[in-house]
Amino acid sequence: MKRLLIFLIAVLFICSCEKRLDGPGQQDPEESFISGDGVFIINEGNYTWGNGTVSYYSYDSSKIHNDVFQKANERPLGDVPNSMALYGEFGYIVVNNSGKIEVVKKNSLKSVATITGLISPRNIAIIDHSKAYVSSLYSDSITILDLENNKISGYINIRRTSESIVTTGMKAFVSSWYGGDEVVVINTAIDKMTDSIKVGREPESMVIDNKYVLWVLCNGGWARKYYAELTGINTQSYEIMKRHVFPSILDSPTSLSINGDGNTLFYLQKGIKRMDIGASGVPAEPFIEERERIFYKLGINPVNGDIFVTDAVDYQHNGMVLIYNSKGDSLNSYNAGIIPGSLCFKVRPSPVIE
Position 353 pLDDT exceeds 90:
no
Q: Which of 120, 25, 109 is nearest to 73 (CA)?
A: 109
Which three-class secondary structure state does DSSP give residue 30? helix
User: What band does 17 get if pLDDT is binned at 50, 70 and 90?
Assistant: very low
Which of 302, 294, 301, 291 lies closest to 331, judged by CA? 301
Report yes or no: 125 and 144 within 8 Å, Cβ to Cβ.
Answer: no
- pLDDT grade for 213, boundaries at 50, 70 and 90: very high
Task: Give the pLDDT confidence score for residue 346 in this predicted structure.
Answer: 97
- Distances 84 to 2, 53, 126, 343, 353 between C-alpha atoms, Å: 61, 12, 11, 8, 32
pLDDT of residue 33: 76
Rounded distance between C-alpha atoms, residue 10 and residue 315, angstroms: 57
- pLDDT over 70 at 28, yes or no: no
Question: Hey, how many other C-beta atoms are within 10 angstroms of the C-beta on 53?
Answer: 25
Which one, of 147, 155, 197, 145, lies nearest residue 175 by Cα?
A: 197
From CA 80, how far away is CA 50, in angstroms rounded? 7
pLDDT for 31 equals: 67
What confidence tens digit (pLDDT) does each residue in 233-285 have?
A: 999 999 999 999 999 999 999 999 999 999 999 999 999 999 999 999 999 99
Any residues with CB less than 8 A from the CB of 168 and at least 6 apart, and which? 208, 212, 214, 235
pLDDT on residue 184: 98
- Residues 301 and 183: their CA atoms lie apart, in Å, by 26
- Given a contact cutoff of 8 angstroms between Cβ atoms, the answer to whether 66 and 57 are in contact is no
Residue 88 has pLDDT above 60, yes or no: yes
In angstroms, the CA 174 to CA 203 distance is 9
Q: Are 343 and 308 contacting, i.e. CB atoms less than 8 angstroms apart?
A: yes
* pLDDT over 50 (residue 354): no
Q: What is the mean pLDDT of residues 199-223?
A: 97
Is residue 91 within 8 A of residue 85, CB to CB? The reply is yes
Q: Is pLDDT of 219 > 90?
A: yes
Residue closest to 176 by CA, chosen among 144, 155, 200, 192: 200
The three-class DSSP label of residue 72 is helix
Nearest to 309 by CA among 317, 121, 301: 301
Give the mean pLDDT of 287-297.
Answer: 98
**CB burial of residue 311 (10 Å; 0-12, 13-18, 19+):** buried
Separation of alpha carbons 123 and 80, rounded Å: 12
Is 80 exceeded by the pLDDT of residue 351? Answer: no
pLDDT, tens digit (0-9, with 9 covering 90-100), for 135-184: 999 999 999 999 999 999 999 999 999 999 999 999 999 999 888 999 99
pLDDT at 339 over 70: yes
Q: Please answer whether residues 38 and 55 qualify as being in contact, where contact means their C-beta atoms are separated by less than 8 angstroms.
A: no
Weakest mean pLDDT among 8-22, 195-209, 230-244: 8-22
**CA-to-CA distance for 270 and 252, rounded, in angstroms?**
9
pLDDT of residue 6: 38
% of the chain with per-residue pLDDT over 90: 87
pLDDT digits (tens, 9 = 90+) for 117-133: 999 999 999 999 999 99
Measured from the Cβ of residue 307, the count of other Cβ atoms closer than 10 Å reads: 25
Give the pLDDT of residue 349: 78
% of the chain residues with pLDDT over 70? 90
State the chain's mean pLDDT as an integer.
Answer: 92
pLDDT at 21 over 60: no
Of 18-22, 49-53, 201-205, minimum mean pLDDT range: 18-22
pLDDT for the residue numbered 30 = 59
Indicate the residue type of 243: R
Q: What is the pLDDT of residue 179?
A: 85
Q: Which residue has the higher pLDDT, 290 or 30?
A: 290
Sign of CA dihedral 190, 236, 298, 219: positive
The answer on pLDDT for 14 being more than 90 is: no
Question: Could you tell me if 162 and 120 are in contact, meaning their C-beta atoms sit under 8 angstroms apart?
Answer: no
